[in-house]
Every structure is written in C-alpha cells, then in structure tokens.
Amino acid sequence: MLLRKTKTYGSSIGHQVLTKTINQKLEGGLIIKLPFYFYIVILLFLLTFLINFFYVTKNYSFVFDNILKQSIKFTFFQAILSTIISIILGFILSICLYLSNFKRKIITTFLNFFFIAPVLFISYGVIFIHGSDGLLQNIFQFINLNFSYTFFGIIGIIYVTSYFNIALSANYFFRKLTNIPENYLKLMSANKISLYVALTRCLKPVVLNNLSILITMVLIFCISNFTIIYIFASSPLLTTIEMAIYQKISFEANISEAVIYGFLQTVIIILILIPTLKLRNNFQMITLKVSENYRIYQSNLFSSFFLIIFFLYFFSPCLVVIKGLYNFNIDLLFSKNTILSFLYSLIIAFSSLCIALMIAISSLFMARRLHENNSYLSNYVILSIFIISFVPSISLSAILFMINVHLNFILPNFLIVAFINSFLLTPLIFLFLFPKFMENNKFEKLRVLQFNISAVNRFTRIDFLKIKKELIVVSSSCFVLSMGDLTSITLFNSSSFKTVPYLISQLYSSYRYNDAFFILAIFVLFIISFLYMVNSLVYKNVKIR
C-alpha cells in the first residue's frame, strides 16, 4: 500500500511539473540556428534580385509565345502520364515484394538504390538495350527478325522517368505494408480476409495515408527531369520548360528569358505544392507497434510473374556496366581529364552535402524549437524548406548564372554547382530526419528545462546520438545523388571544370560510346562500393531478419 501511495504521489508531482514547465520557453542555441539564418538571407537576396530584375525588364511579350505554351503543355503531359504510371506500377511492385520471401532489408536497399541511381546510368543503360544499335536490335538482326523501333521521344522519357519514380512509390507503399500493426494482421488472418478485401477496405487508410505527398513529389520529380529530356527528347516539340531554359541560355544566350522561364516553372511547382501542404496538418509520421516477421499472405503465380517482369525492367540497364567493363581502357581511366572529373565530382558532392546538412539540421532545430515554444512560426520554417526544395535546379541555375554575370563572374563555377545541388539535397535530409528529430520532443523539453541542458549540449549529446544512423544513411544517399547530377553542370562547365556525369555525356555525344560506357561502369561500381561500405558501417551490429 505504501508503495502504491508513493507512486501516485510521484506521478501527480510529475504532472504538476509538466503543466508548469510546458509553457516556459526554451532559449539559446544561436550557433546552431546560424546556418538557417544564412539560408534565409540567401533566399531574400535571390528574391530581391528577382524583384529588381522584373522591375528592369520591360518586354514580357515572349512569355505568350508558342514555344513556352508548347513547353508547358508537354511538361504537364509527360509529367502527369509518368506520375500515373509510376504510382500504379509502384503499388503493384510493392505488393509483389511484400508477398515475396525476400528479406525486408534487401528490398529497401534495392528500392533505395534505384531511386538514387544516377540518371545518366539508367538513361544510357536503357539506350544500350533499346537504342537503334542496342542489344535488342542486334538480337533481332541476328535472328533475322525485321522489327525495328525507336526508344527516343515520349516512350523513352516515360520509361526512364518512371524508373526512379516506381522505385520511390514502391518504397513508399512497401513501408506502409510492412508497418501494418501486428494485431490487424492477426485479425485478418483469423477471419480469413483476402488480400483484395484487406487492401481495398481494411487497410485503406494505412495505404492511402499521405498519398497526396507522394503524388506531389512524383509529379514534381517528373516536371524537373531535365537530364532525361536532355537525352531522350527527339524533336523540338518534345521540349519541357527545363529544356527551354537550357536552350535559352546555351543556344540563344538569352539569360533574361531563361530567368523568367525559371521563375514561371518555380511558380507552377509551388502552386502544385500548396494544396498538398494545406491538406497536411503536420508532417509528423505515426509510428505503430509492428511485427517484421509476421506474415499472413504468401506469393502466388501472378505476383511471381510480375516480380520477374519488374526485375527485368530494373536490372536490364545494369548490362551497360558489363559492357563498360568489357571495354576496359586503362589510359582513359588514368587520363588527366578523368581524374580531374572524379576529383571535381567528389569535391562538389562533399561540399553540397556539407552545405545541405548544415542548413537541414539547423532548420530542423529551428522548427522543433519553435514548435516546442508553441510558436506558429514553426510551420513557416518547414514551409520555407519545402518551397525552396522544389525550385528546379535548372531554374536556380538560370538565376545564379544571371547573378554571376552581374558580378562579373566572381563566383567560381564549382561553388555555384555545389550550392545548387545543396538546394536539392536540403529538403531530402530535412524530410528524412524530421520524424526522428521530433521524437519525444515534449518530454525532452521537460527534461531540458528541469536539468538546465544547454541547446548545444542537447544537440550534441541527445539529438546527434538519436539521429546518428539516419544521418549516415541519408548523407550517403545525398552524396551519391549530388555526384550523379548532370543538371547544373551542363550550364557551368568549362574546359577545366567538369564532373564525371558531364564527362560521360561528352564522350557519348562525341560518339565514343565504348569509352562513355567504360567510365559509366567505373562510376557505378564506385557508387555501389561506397553505398555498400556505408551500409555495412551502419548495420555492423544489427542482426538481419
């Protein structure tokens, strides 16, 4: 009895302390907030530049010309089509994977890799198989089958764009399926509920929760698929806004129009994004008690058949790596050009990752601090990160190109590319770390106030340890994404400054296919080894189910 009384007394004191202290505000941590302030200053600078630019520009008649109308029409046509295909196929793939006997870790690694795989690798891999002189055409010729087809144009664009987005959608749905509460599975198993009824009725909210965010993300990725359009667009009619921006800068040297096109694309993307942001009250994800090894549905003939088709689709471009290694060229590998390209790729990937990490973590800290202090500004911090995340790289490139022209090219190109890439990476890091960073924040705030833990100590001793694993995973993925990016480098390259993707693209454009495939193979192997090393480091002591 005495023990019971003490317990009750203790808990009531705890409650009183909680209610008393919860209204107190947390303070300090300026040094952690600095990168976010810096980021806001840069945003304001870009905005000021744009306002000034619009004020000076007098003639906007070109905005209504047919090129732009056609670009917008095609951008949306291919993006909507690709989004629909990707999400439907992603859903089917996730079910096939869920029913399969593959280990969960293998499935997520496979899906993660194909989401972050360099666009150039997949594009050239697809051309290697389906191109006019590709593997399939050679096989057809060998067996005297007179069947020719071209993979360039809308089919190629949709095929390659869907590649990344199917992986993203499948990953999203697969996580949902493996996060079904264990008791739901038991309930379904005991009542013999078919997979169809389970998905359409019982688990509908589990599967459809946050679907609007997935649709928006996929749609925006499809709108911003510059590299794919750059490689696969076969006619001037198949031009997206991003390509129009590139053409304005590269071929017409008309930076003003490019900046306005970039601004237009940004506005379109923000308009797509706002309803999704409004639909969500917060970004916190619900964590349920789940079982990783409890299975009630088994694979069947259909799921196995689809799985084989999907594997062929995903792994066929990898043949380009074998082809590349077959054309081993040691002179090319150790040439100054290749070594410099690798070096610049590493420098850019590292710098952009550092910038993105600083901004993302600082923004996370700011968002949580404001949330804990019950400030409505918390949502604006999140909004500022998300809006800037969807400013397409090419639009940002156009604006920075213009600024650099005004500054007499004072900014080095590699810094601009790193900066542009960091904008792409910041929201990914933010989104990935957000749930973990916000975990138990209400109770943590209480402890921070009770034990007078400084902001820096909380960050280094509590937050950092909490997010360490996720931080390594997301950093490695972002590093690879930045290394494989071809968007901004197409505008900011020079004879002495190029990255590996640009080098591959140059070799390919000058009809040195074997050399291009060789460098591509080395690049892909480097990326796979890097990811494998990081993965082993993170899961070193974890038993895999």
Partner 1 sequence: MLKLDKISYKNVTFSAEYTFNISESGIYALVGESGSGKSTLINLISGFLNIHSGSMSFKNKSLLDLSPSQRPISTLFQNYNNFDHLTIFENIILGVDSKMINNNINRNKVKSVMKKLSLEMDMFKTVSELSGGEQQRVSLARCWLRNRNLLLLDEPFNALDPGLRKDLFIQLVKMHEHNKSQITIISSHFLDELVDIINGVIFINNGSVYENKILQYKEVKDNLDFKKYFLGSF
Residues that bind partner 1 in the complex, under the rule CB under 8 A: 3, 181-184, 186-187, 189-194, 197, 201-202, 204-205, 294, 543
CB atoms within 10 A of CB 407: 9
What 8-state DSSP symbol labels residue 237? T
CB atoms within 10 A of CB 157: 27
Structure-token pair, residue 208: 């459809």
Would you list the DSSP string of 289-312? -B-SS-------HHHHHHHHHHHH
Report CA torsion sign: 73, 77, 78, 82. positive
CB of 203 or CB of 399, closer to partner 1: 203
Q: Three-class SS of residue 181? A: strand
CB 120 within 8 A of CB 505: yes
CB 519 within 8 A of CB 338: yes
| Smallest distance from partner 1 to CB 540, Å | 18
For 167, what's the count of Cα atoms within 13 Å in the CB-facing half-sphere?
22
CB atoms within 10 A of CB 115: 19
CB of 288 or CB of 309, closer to partner 1: 288
| Smallest distance from partner 1 to CB 104, Å | 16
Would you list the DSSP string of 5-66? HHHHHHHHHHHHHHHHHTTSPP---HHHHHHHHHHHHHHHHHHHHHHHHHHH----GGGGSH
| Smallest distance from partner 1 to CB 544, Å | 12
Which conformational region is residue 235 in: left (phi greater than 0), alpha (psi within -120 to 50 degrees), or beta? beta
| Smallest distance from partner 1 to CB 8, Å | 15
CB of 3 or CB of 271, closer to partner 1: 3
CB of 188 or CB of 381, closer to partner 1: 188
Q: Measure the CA–CA gap between 428 and 409, rounded to whole angstroms.
A: 30
| Smallest distance from partner 1 to CB 297, Å | 12
Q: Measure the CA–CA gap between 239 and 315, rounded to whole angstroms.
A: 29
CB of 80 or CB of 187, closer to partner 1: 187
CB of 196 or CB of 511, closer to partner 1: 196
What 8-state DSSP symbol labels residue 117? S
| Smallest distance from partner 1 to CB 292, Å | 12
CB of 191 or CB of 281, closer to partner 1: 191
CB of 22 or CB of 197, closer to partner 1: 197
CB of 202 or CB of 347, closer to partner 1: 202
Structure-token pair, residue 498: 């190029």
Q: Measure the CA–CA gap between 473 and 25, rounded to whole angstroms.
A: 33
CB of 30 or CB of 288, closer to partner 1: 288
CB 486 within 8 A of CB 119: yes
Give the closest residue to 520 by CA, choosing from 320, 319, 366.
320
Q: Measure the CA–CA gap between 381 and 386, rounded to whole angstroms.
A: 9
Q: Measure the CA–CA gap between 511 and 352, rounded to whole angstroms.
A: 31
Q: Measure the CA–CA gap between 345 and 124, rounded to whole angstroms.
A: 19
CB of 25 or CB of 204, closer to partner 1: 204
| Smallest distance from partner 1 to CB 289, Å | 9
| Smallest distance from partner 1 to CB 77, Å | 35
| Smallest distance from partner 1 to CB 180, Å | 9
| Smallest distance from partner 1 to CB 178, Å | 16
| Smallest distance from partner 1 to CB 108, Å | 21
Q: Measure the CA–CA gap between 413 and 400, rounded to whole angstroms.
A: 10
